[in-house]
Amino acid sequence: MSRLFAATALLSIFVALPAQAAAPACWSREDIAAAKVRDLDMLLTEISARCVAAGLSSSADYDAYAVVSRGALSAVGQRLKARFWTVYGAEQGPARLDGFLDAVSGQYAHVPTVDENCAQVAELAREAVSAGGSVVALLGVADRHNLTPPLSGGACGAQPVKVAAR
């Protein structure tokens, strides 16, 4: 009987592993910062490109942002790659990262390409340039504009507030 119990217990552990591995891991503060900066970049990239294509703005503001932010965006890209490879492994990491980037980009797919939006995005690019282009500076811009990338798994350590019974 004890062998059957041990075998059943071992089997239940192995059956539970895929479900646990499939659950999204929480995001550290540093990973969230990288995701917010990538969100800002995707917003600027997606909408600026459409505005330029529609003849509603020039590429000068976006181009200045891209030059000033190049190093920060590279660091953010490496941080996100490391996160997805660590959480999902080398086999699933690339596809999961692509899915995340598609979800971030998709947030801006339905933003209308109109003068007002193009002007706002150009101003946002100028703000990012003025901030200095570091990860910290770009995070500040993202936070001021309440950018919230889709983070499956939520923030690490985020616990619901419990109200003490009286």
Q: Kindly report, residue by residue over 47-82, the tens digit of the pLDDT.
A: 999 999 999 999 999 999 999 999 999 999 999 999
pLDDT digits (tens, 9 = 90+) for 77-107: 999 999 999 999 999 999 999 999 999 999 9
155 occurs within a structural domain = no
pLDDT value of position 149 = 96
159 occurs within a structural domain = no
11 occurs within a structural domain = no
Residue 4 has pLDDT above 60, yes or no: no
**Closest C-alpha to 142, from 55, 90, 73:** 73
* Degrees to nearest 5, angle at CA 59 with 54 and 65: 135
Q: Average of pLDDT values for 141-149?
A: 96
Under a CB-based contact definition with an 8 Å cutoff, are residues 91 and 46 in contact? no
Residue 117 has pLDDT above 50, yes or no: yes
6 occurs within a structural domain = no
10 occurs within a structural domain = no
150 occurs within a structural domain = no
Stated pTM of the model: 0.80
Residue 10 has pLDDT above 60, yes or no: no
Mean pLDDT for all residues in the chain: 85
Under a CB-based contact definition with an 8 Å cutoff, are residues 141 and 128 in contact? yes
In the chain, the number of structural domains is 1
Residue 26 has pLDDT above 70, yes or no: yes
Helix (H, G, I), strand (E, B) or coil at 27: strand
15 occurs within a structural domain = no
User: Containing domain of residue 63, as a range?
Assistant: 26-144
35 occurs within a structural domain = yes
